[in-house]
Amino acid sequence: MTPFTRETAALMRLPVANVDTDQLIPARFMKEPRKPEGYGRFLLLDLVAEGTATAPAPGQTILVARRNFGCGSSREAAVYALADFGFRAVIAPSFGDIFASNCVKNGVVPATVSEEDAERLLATEALPATVDLEAQTIACGNVVVPFRIDPVWRTQLLNGWDDIDLTLAEADSIAAYTARDTAERPWAAPRRG
């Protein structure tokens, strides 16, 4: 995973609430293998077609939207579509929980701002924006706003850590847990299988 410290790029403004992961990548495209072309070409395709969103433009790597961004299906393909297009940060007043977690696994920053600050960013003119993960600020022209992110996620994103490697190093703790748990909850194992 690529570490994230600071990103300056064109800002995509999406003044829509409740953008769900079905919109980020419509289900019918998920039979396609991700490689080699990536899922970026499917990003927001239906919302653009119906005129609710303008098409993401090459060079845009930061996106701001209204509340409950990334709600709905747990499909990580929604983050693949964003990341494969080039997006590195998404900004909104609230996020779908699973979507936000999926973002972090793919090096994309889910930055939570107040409703007012989201509206201020949405109202900015076509200027580049800067997301600074160390300072936890977003700047676009004269608008400078703070953002919130879980401190654990922030550390992970800053370092580009991979979870599985961290966990495999915990083999002893896991073995101790399962030994104790099997004795305490023998009924928890599936009867057949």
Beta bridge partners of 138: 131, 145
Q: Which stretch binds other proteins (CB under 8 A): 4-12, 62-70, 126-134, 141-149?
A: 62-70
CA 8 → CA 5, 11, 27, 62, distances in Å?
10, 9, 31, 8
Q: Which of residues 148-187 bind other proteins (CB under 8 A)?
A: 150-152, 155, 163-164, 166-168, 170, 173-174, 177-178, 181, 185-187
Give the nearest distance from C-beta 96 to other proteins in angstroms: 7
Query: Rounded to the nearest 5 degrees, what angle is found at the Cα of 25, between the Cα atoms of 45 and 76?
Result: 155
Write the interaction track for other proteins spanning residues 14-43; mark x where CB under 8 A is met and - where it is not: -xxxx-x-xx--xxx-xx--x---------
Produce one character per residue of 143-175: b if its CB has 16 or more CB atoms within 10 Å, e if not: eebebebeeebbebbeeeeeeeeeeeeeeeeee
Secondary structure (3-state) at 130: strand
Residues 114-153 contacting other proteins, CB under 8 A: 115, 150-152
Q: How far is the CB of 105 from other proteins (least distance, A)?
A: 4
Alpha-carbon distance of 118 to 88, in angstroms, equals: 17
4 lies in the binding site for other proteins (CB under 8 A) = no
Nearest C-alpha neighbor of 125 from the set 13, 7, 28: 13
Residues that bind other proteins (CB under 8 A): 15-18, 20, 22-23, 26-28, 30-31, 34, 46-47, 49-50, 52, 66-68, 71-77, 79, 94-98, 101-102, 105-106, 115, 150-152, 155, 163-164, 166-168, 170, 173-174, 177-178, 181, 185-193
